[in-house]
Amino acid sequence: METKIINPFPDNFLWGSATSAFQCEGAAKEDGKGLSVMDVRKQDPAICNYDVASDHYHHFKEDVALMKECGLKAYRFSFAWARIFPKGNGAINPQGVQFYNELIDELVKADITPIATIYHFEYPQGLIDQYGGWIDRQSIDDYVNYASFLFKTYGDRVKYWLTVNEQDHVVHMPFRLGLKGNDQHENERLGFLANHHMCVAAAKATKACHEIVKDGKIGPAVCFDMLYPASNRPADALACQDAMDIRNYYVLDINVKGEYNGTFKRYLEDRDMMPEIQEGDMEIIKANKPDFIGFNYYASKSVAAYPCDEDHKIGDLVIKLLPAEEPGIYKVVKNENLNATLWGWEIDDIGLECVCRLLWDRYRLPLMITENGFGNKETLPEDKMVKDDDRIDYLTRHLLAVKKAMNVGVEFIGYCTWSFMDIISGHSGFSKRYGLVYVNRDEHDLKDMCRYKKKSFYWYKDTIACNGENIK
Ligand code: BG6
């Protein structure tokens, strides 16, 4: 709704920016780091691997100095699990521990609040080799031991923690779970088993965080695309509701409410995918709610009803990045009202406003946007400043959506742009850039790795300096 009054951003709003370890650190095989599923994945030769990334491991002081210059109040980073525990459990790598000590000290010195993700996609290959990873219950204890080590080691300086990044994506990505088989149904079944173990692990880590970290706050970082019904046909509205339940709400409903929502439960049972829930699991989850909801938002999708027929039956899956269509439930269709990025992600700031309000209404927990950003192809111009006006426009609109959501009562902790400097995109290598800072390398040519501030860097700096007064 349009309002006469629009409240300013609160003074303690955390203006942040984010990265993840495997996408920016590089040094993938240096100083005792073990391998992760990202390091051993089969690579499309057209896309770079993660060996060097943005070489943040060797440039972190310079990167934090840039964050300080930008005026960031918060920086979200992730620990590379296998840099600390090379095999995922057992022996600790002191050089890895030291790296994060130095990074965190540098942030604190620069007056930047660290927001730390415990696990962002790069699961230790060692755990896959030992027992198959997340599909085995041993994974719960190993995650909790690793998380507890982080709380004890860094909890004096890190107060905001994120348990699992985009659990809702990981469980649909066999290679990120270390699954080897090609049977799609079996991979989905195992994905939902892994999902359950992650939920129990996150709840136990939440308990440990509250016990170990003084004033510590912890929450998930899910991915949450807004979903719309493709038309005003009631069947599309119902398909949308179903898709919201089984694609979006399912993880948070377990994390926050301690329950498998009814639609999701029926969906899993229909397909013989219900994971084994052991006695006490749901009680542990219920007793250890997150303190806030972190979520990544990039785009919305529209969904239409997809009735079954002779050739399309309940349980058939068509998986692209995510299940994009499922007979008997929904299919994703193009939204003609929205522009899209070069990768087809439909740009929708109003969708973000809707998501903020839905999450607040459903869970009544403060929100933190852990990622929001615009991926684009970019090259370094002669004057060394990328004029990324599209990104500025995208971020401005999405921040306005946050401001409007707050204006009707949604509570926010902060907002992180994705990403601070250019990083390796999850699926498109270095050809899809997100940063406020340009990193001078290409897909395969490492060049000199110099950092150059983009136009959006200066825009964000101004925005932070005036506490978002320019967001209109
Ligand atoms: C989120 C991830 O899925 O989206 C990030 O948490 C990722 O790791 C980001 O980079 C953007 O996706 P992509 O595929 O464009 O890198």
Measure the CA angle with vertex 179, ends 27 and 21; round to 5°. 25
Torsion of CA 201, 202, 203, 204, to 10 degrees: 50
300 CA distance to ligand 1 centroid (A)?
15
Could you identify the atom of ligand 1 that is nearest to the CA of residue 345?
A: 15
pLDDT band at residue 43 under the 50/70/90 scheme: confident
The closest of 214, 203, 113, 210 to 163, measured between CA atoms, is: 203
Q: Is the pLDDT of residue 322 over 80?
A: no
Amino acid present at 271? R
End-to-end C-alpha distance for the chain, whole angstroms: 15
At residue 312, the pLDDT reads 86
Give pLDDT, residue 94. Answer: 98
- What's the rounded Cα separation, in Å, for the pair 255 and 285? 6
Of the candidates 195, 194, 192, 171, the one whose C-alpha atom is nearest the C-alpha of residue 272 is 192
CB 334 within 8 A of CB 302: yes
Tens digits of per-residue pLDDT, 430-471?
999 999 999 999 999 999 999 999 999 999 999 999 999 999
Question: From the alpha carbon of 418, which atom of ligand 1 is closest?
Answer: 9
pLDDT given for residue 147 in this prediction: 98
pTM for the model stands at 0.97
- The residues that are catalytic are 166, 371
List residues bridging with 443 in a β-sheet: none
375 is written with which tokens?
A: 């991926």
Of 237-241, 270-274, 301-305, 310-314, the least confident = 310-314
For residue 201, report the distance from its CA to the centre of ligand 1, in Å: 23
Q: Can you tell me the mean pLDDT for 343-360? A: 97
Confidence of residue 315 (pLDDT cuts 50, 70, 90): confident
Q: Which of 418, 419, 428 is the best mutation target for the ligand 1 pocket, counting ligand atoms within 8 Å of the beta carbon and taking the most? A: 418
The type of residue at 324 is A
Average pLDDT over residues 10-30: 97
Residue-wise pLDDT tens digits, 138-153: 999 999 999 999 999 9
Residue 296 Cβ inside 6 Å of ligand 1? The answer reads yes
Please report the pLDDT score of residue 318 as a whole number.
Answer: 65
Which stretches of 141-213 are assigned E, i.e. beta strand? Answer: 160-165
Q: Is 425 in the pocket of ligand 1 (CB under 6 A)?
A: yes
Contact 449, 465 (CB under 8 A): no
Mean pLDDT taken over the chain: 96
Query: Model confidence over 94-111: pLDDT tens digits?
Result: 999 999 999 999 999 999
- DSSP H or E segment with residue 39: helix 37-40
Say if residue 259's pLDDT is above 70: yes
